[in-house]
């Protein structure tokens, strides 16, 4: 069963959760358990790990790669892959930096042009995949190499473009919400979440569809409130809630709403679950696939801009190193299926939180990076194994 069908048929209730568990669908619980284990282990080994300063740094670090991971989720939902996301993020960041610094363009205009460039790259990938019937692996692998080459060409012999520390782009990563703004934002988020669930409940009742009990809605709202209050309290004890985290969180929420409450989102899940059935149902499969690649590259471009903001520069290594691998790993570890048709945008948030926590904890313990790679690989392999077993249980 695709996630779209599950959402339409039955709300998330305690009984529904137990049914999903019996059928092998563990949801986000393994990731949550992993985060608790990481917090306990590293918090015990190093008292600085759970300090407000370190947790605030952790929130700041995960925004850029998490945004790229959010884009990768769009193509993973279709059962495809985008290997070019890292190179696209670096290239679009370079385009933004060259236009704003060397050409003297307004930073906002330069950002928009960079995002448009990312969207056009995604459009090209999507057309090559759908029109030429080239495997997405080959299309985006060529993109990984080609866009990296264009990045080096644009940078030229200098190899680096520094962004003004007091400029708009650099300020994105050095802006913090005041305590009042953070608490007001928390109140608004909880209120919107509660209102959204109430509206959904009334619509389901009006359509004579099953609904969760009222007390369960209260539990969900209270749970969200506890998590947000704890996060804001911890970060407010240091510099405050970083703007980058707010931007990333907003993207996660917006795309989750799009996937769960729009026709486009249902079509995405339908195409990922069964292409032929989606085609027979009248869904324009080709257009959905192209849009998925456009979204992936656009979000990769935005992630590259956020990364450039943190470094206040772009260079020949922008979008390189292990950014692509970490973005893909975050999506899979967070619960997005490699087989398509199942996953939520919150996978990007949960997955990148797991990866960054492991990286951060090992850094505090002065563990060699080789060990970090091996641990991350083991976590990724475990996530894929759980996904495979879950699918086997669901079809049994």
SS3 content of the chain, % helix, strand, coil (to 5): 75, 0, 25
- Structure tokens, 273: 């679950």
Over 50: is that where the pLDDT of 8 sits? no
Ranges 117-131, 195-209, 237-251, most confident: 117-131
Supply the angle between the helices 243-261 and 285-311 in degrees, to the nearest 10.
Answer: 170
C-alpha Rg value of the chain to the nearest Å: 21
DSSP code, position 340: S
Q: What local confidence, expressed as pLDDT, does residue 1 receive? A: 45
* Mean pLDDT along residues 349-375: 86
- The per-residue pLDDT for range 88-107, each reduced to its tens digit, is 999 999 999 999 999 999 99
Q: What local confidence, expressed as pLDDT, does residue 7 receive? A: 42
Over 90: is that where the pLDDT of 393 sits? no
Over 50: is that where the pLDDT of 54 sits? yes
Interatomic CA distance for residues 344 and 362, integer angstroms:
28
Q: What local confidence, expressed as pLDDT, does residue 287 receive? A: 96
Say which range, 11-20, 117-126, 316-325, has the weakest mean pLDDT: 11-20
Question: What contacts 25, CB < 8 A, 6 or more positions away?
Answer: 390, 393, 394
Domain ranges of the chain: 3-15+46-175+242-395, 181-240
Interatomic CA distance for residues 259 and 253, integer angstroms:
10
What is the average pLDDT score of the chain?
87
- Structure tokens, 382: 């475990």
3-state DSSP call for residue 27?
Answer: coil
Q: What local confidence, expressed as pLDDT, does residue 232 receive? A: 94
- pLDDT tier for residue 375 given thresholds of 50, 70 and 90: confident
Q: Would you state the CATH architecture of domain 3-15+46-175+242-395?
A: Orthogonal Bundle (1.10)
- The per-residue pLDDT for range 225-281, each reduced to its tens digit, is 999 999 999 999 988 999 999 999 999 999 988 998 899 999 999 999 899 999 999
Query: Which residue, among 246, 269, 251, has the nearest Cα to 341 in the 3D structure?
Result: 269
* Mean pLDDT along residues 318-329: 87
Q: Which residue has the tokens 């680096």?
A: 160
Burial zone of 77 (CB within 10 Å; 0-12 exposed, 13-18 middle, 19+ buried): buried
């Amino acid at each position: 069963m695709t996630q779209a069908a599950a959402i339409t048929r039955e709300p998330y209730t305690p009984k529904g959760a137990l049914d999903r568990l019996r059928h092998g669908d563990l949801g986000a619980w393994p990731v949550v358990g992993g985060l608790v284990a990481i917090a306990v282990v590293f918090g015990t080994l190093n008292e600085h790990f759970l300090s407000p300063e370190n947790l605030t740094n952790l929130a700041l670090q995960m925004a850029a790669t998490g945004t790229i991971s959010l884009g990768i989720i769009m193509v993973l939902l279709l059962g495809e892959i985008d290997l070019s996301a890292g190179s696209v993020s670096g290239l679009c960041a370079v385009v933004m930096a060259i236009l704003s610094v060397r050409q003297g363009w307004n930073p906002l205009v330069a950002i928009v042009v960079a995002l448009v460039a990312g969207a056009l790259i995604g459009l090209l990938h999507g057309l090559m995949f759908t029109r030429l019937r080239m495997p997405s692996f080959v299309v985006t692998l060529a993109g990984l190499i080609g866009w990296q080459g264009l990045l080096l060409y644009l940078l030229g012999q200098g190899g680096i473009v520094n962004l003004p520390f007091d400029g708009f782009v650099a300020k994105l990563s050095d802006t913090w919400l005041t305590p009042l703004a953070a608490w007001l934002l928390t109140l608004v988020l909880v209120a919107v979440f509660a209102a959204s669930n109430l509206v959904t409940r009334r619509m389901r009742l009006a359509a004579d569809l099953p609904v969760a009990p009222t007390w369960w809605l209260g539990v969900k709202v209270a749970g969200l409130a506890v998590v947000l209050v704890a996060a804001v309290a911890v970060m407010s004890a240091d510099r405050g809630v970083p703007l980058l985290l707010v931007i990333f969180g907003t993207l996660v929420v917006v795309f989750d709403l799009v996937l769960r409450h729009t026709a486009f989102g249902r079509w995405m899940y339908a195409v990922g679950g069964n292409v032929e059935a989606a085609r027979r149902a009248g869904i324009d499969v080709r257009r959905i696939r192209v849009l998925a690649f456009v979204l992936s590259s656009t979000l990769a471009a935005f992630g590259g801009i956020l990364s450039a903001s943190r470094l206040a520069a772009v260079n020949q290594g922008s979008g390189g190193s292990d950014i692509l691998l970490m973005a893909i790993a975050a999506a899979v570890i967070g619960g997005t299926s490699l087989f398509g048709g199942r996953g939520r945008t919150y996978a990007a948030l949960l997955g990148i939180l797991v990866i960054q926590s492991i990286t951060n904890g090992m850094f505090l313990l002065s563990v060699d990076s080789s060990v970090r790679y091996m641990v991350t690989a083991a976590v990724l392999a475990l996530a894929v194994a759980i996904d495979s077993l879950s699918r086997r249980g669901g079809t049994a």
